Chain A
Amino acid sequence: MKLNKFAQRNFLILAVTSSFLVIPNYVSNAGDQVIRIAQENFAATQFKVFKDAAAIYEKANPGWKVDLVQQDGALYESIGETNLLKGNNSPDAYFDWIGAGSNLRFQQGFGSDIAPYLAKSKLTTYLSSSVLSRGQLNGKQQILPFSSDVSNVIWYDTDEFKKYNLTPPKTWADLIAICAKFKAAGKTCFSIGNKDKWVAGNFFAHLYSRTIGDDLYGNILSLKSPITDPKLATALGYITDLVKKGYVNSDVNAINDQEAETKFFNNGGELLPMGSWLIGIAQDQAPKKHIDFFNLPAIPGGLGDQSSVLGTTTGYIFNAKSKHLDQVTKFFEALYSPQITKELISAGYSPLTKDATISSQTALEQKLVVMFNKATHIVPPPDTGYGQKEADALNSATAEMLGLVKTPNAALTEAAAALKTK
């Protein structure tokens, strides 16, 4: 076909326009020497540590670069991680919580057995076999353990406790007595920001496992036992009791975790259920406030392990679709090195490397690590230890208890209905 000049020009325009649609895809995939590591967003100090690790790696591996992909925590947990993995430039390794979620990634084909890479790296000298075993499932090293997070303890202001002559409670009755004392003084006992459901979800999930037993708790969230179990309904009654006595902030379901933290830092609430990461937040936002924590006190007649800790181990999954897993392994050798371990601890992390135990930590950090390591049972939180839908059903029931909008049985019936529809 012979085209006149006008038509030739039209084809040229079409070709140029089409190229705008096609070229970026090729450019982004063009034989790059880049490894992409995805995870939740970092605080500035934490990001610097990862940059330092990347610099060590890049110096030892000329020509290779590290792209640290970070996303807002809630976004990463809900849609971010999924979208990153489905994209054309999916990360070579990505952060995850050890549990049902990380196992699901493997089933979806986004996880590679890390064991062969460990065998030829220094990582086995940095991590003990017991730590590594936390990331093993179905005979595979699914995840490279990175840090331990205590997902919920109860934080308090030590000055306030001194002022009211209080000591950390040993039993649930002691905790109620503390709340009664604060209420008598015109103060709100608990500051909970449950707009996104996971804060109270975590706190009371621990109470559920202590009350109904760790096995039943796990079975309910794994859909092996019905969520309408009468024992769980009884456990939900503890929340009704707290709310009816006026021990929980009345805007509990309206504010988020950060707003509840602000309340706590400004003495708008005396007890704050929150995870170990509060240390770093307190350092930034309320450096003069003297805080300490206690674990959930023992529940009378509880069927679960009364010295359990609600916690999770985080780590990195090697993406099965990556072509650079040897390089990824080298990056993690830098990240887990003694030098970077020290920096990670200073930035508020609780890394799991052998060096972490001999490095300098603040008193609170040490106390958390000791509590985690001594725990006779680690209870996984609903949202990171189990499926999102199961976690949402239980957390919604918890939120309804806090809002006093349903009876325990009605809330659990609704949760069961939500779990059925799939």
Chain B
Amino acid sequence: MKANKTSTPYLFLSPALIIYGVTVLIPILGTFLLSFVHWSGFGSFQFAWISNFTRAFTDSVFIHSLGHVLLYIVATLILEVAFGLLLAGIVTSHKSLNKYRVLFFIPVLLPTVVISVLWRSILNFDYGLLNGFLRMIGLGNFSHIWLGDSNFSMWAICLISGWNFSGFYLAIFYAGLQRVPGEIVEAAKLDGADEKTILWKIKVPMIRRITEIAALICITGGIQSFDLFYILTGGGPFHATEVPTTYMVQKVFQDQEVGYGAALAIIVTTLVVVVGLIFSRMRRKNQVSLEY
């Protein structure tokens, strides 16, 4: 049978386009338009021109939330990506450690709510495992209100995030490292290179593209991070762990400032897009690579 109608491909595409339009494009357009109004979620709009955006850049809580997310990204690049790469290197270098891959990957399989509740219990001041352990070994002075102290809460979340997602990057890097041709590794060994040298001088440079993608996932995911922060601390104490997404939820749903929340959403989305563009530009510039 010959499909001779020019409309046929569009007909096939239309269900997907309709769903994509309704669930993605229209909400994005709607959010963009809402960012230019004052609206409580009910009743009529009040045109705000760009005042929601100018307010965002003078809102100390929002500015600080950007700082927090930057700190979180830097920390998770180390605790998730770098640590995941290190783990993958160790696991691929020593065959006997292969079975531990599953153990590192288990946290990735757990829902964030479960992880958050679990860590809230572990870090509880009174009955938490961490403080209990510190007291047991005579270091009770170091026991702390980990999630309730503005000096510690951000670091606690970064560590939990590292524990949660390093297994994900381990899986990515493990797959990449497995693809490094055996002959190259063998040749290096014949030249007298040890496992450490092979990992850092040969394997890691050969999976640079994968590392870049992992870093991009970590950075853009960091900007959009929400669930761990919301459940563990709710942005507190005193906005010490406030990130743009938790602040957005507070503004839209609690304070019913839908227009301002939409402006924050647009700013965060723009940030994600800009980071993505910078990354792709950098990748295009560095086309020459050792990668297989």
Contact = CB atoms under 8 A, between A and B. Distances in A.
B167 interface: no
A255 B12 CA distance: 53
A21 interface: yes
A108 B1 contact: no
Interface string B10-23: 01101100110010
B150 A254 contact: no
A170 interface: no
A324 interface: no
Interface stretch (B174-182, B231-239, B272-280): B231-239
B96 interface: no
B148 A254 contact: yes
A389 interface: yes
B255 interface: yes
Interface residues of A, number: 39
Contact of A17 (B7, B18, B40, B125): B18
B227 interface: no
Contacts of B124: 251, 255, 259
A333 interface: no
Contacts of A305: none
B15 A17 contact: yes
Most buried by A among B14, B55, B126, B149: B126
B42 A109 contact: yes
B59 A421 contact: yes
Nearest to B234: A195
Interface residues of B, number: 39
Interface in B63-101: none
Nearest to A414: B60
Contacts of B146: 254
Contacts of B255: 388-389, 392
Contacts of A6: 1, 3, 5, 8
Interface in B2-51: 3-5, 7-8, 11-12, 14-15, 18-19, 22, 38, 40-43
Contacts of B11: 7, 10-11, 13-14
B255 to A, nearest CB: 5
Most buried by A among B1, B4, B256: B256
A388 B125 contact: no
Given A251-B126, A253-B237, A403-B150, A14 B15 contact: yes
Interface stretch (A64-72, A78-86, A114-122): A78-86
B238 A82 contact: no
A259 B127 CA distance: 11
A18 interface: yes
Interface of B is mostly: loop
Nearest to B60: A417
A421 B238 CA distance: 18
A405 B236 contact: no
Contacts of A13: 11-12, 15
B253 interface: yes
A400 B239 CA distance: 10
B287 interface: no
B141 interface: no
A10 B253 contact: no
A410 to B, nearest CB: 12
Contacts of A254: 125, 145-149, 237
Contacts of A17: 15, 18
Contacts of B233: 195
B254 interface: yes
Contacts of A110: 42
B125 A250 contact: yes
A399 B253 contact: no
Contact of A422 (B14, B41, B148, B257): B257
Most buried by B among A10, A110, A388, A399: A10
Given A4-B5, A17-B18, A392-B255, A251 B237 contact: no
Most buried by A among B3, B14, B238: B238
Given A195-B234, A196-B234, A254-B125, A405 B150 contact: yes
Contacts of A18: 15, 18
A90 to B, nearest CB: 12
Interface in A43-92: 78-79, 82, 86
A263 interface: yes
Interface string B209-224: 0000000000000000
Nearest to B9: A10
Q: Which 5 interchain pairs have the tightest Cβ spacing?
A: A254-B148, A10-B11, A79-B253, A17-B15, A108-B42
10 contacts: A6-B5, A7-B11, A11-B11, A21-B22, A254-B148, A254-B237, A255-B125, A255-B148, A389-B255, A403-B150
Interface of A: 3-4, 6-7, 10-11, 13-14, 17-18, 21, 78-79, 82, 86, 108-110, 195-196, 250-255, 259, 263, 268, 388-389, 392, 396, 399-400, 403, 405, 421-422
Given A7-B8, A422-B257, 17 more contacts: A4-B4, A4-B5, A6-B3, A6-B8, A14-B15, A17-B15, A21-B19, A79-B253, A109-B43, A195-B233, A196-B234, A251-B124, A254-B125, A388-B254, A388-B256, A396-B238, A422-B38
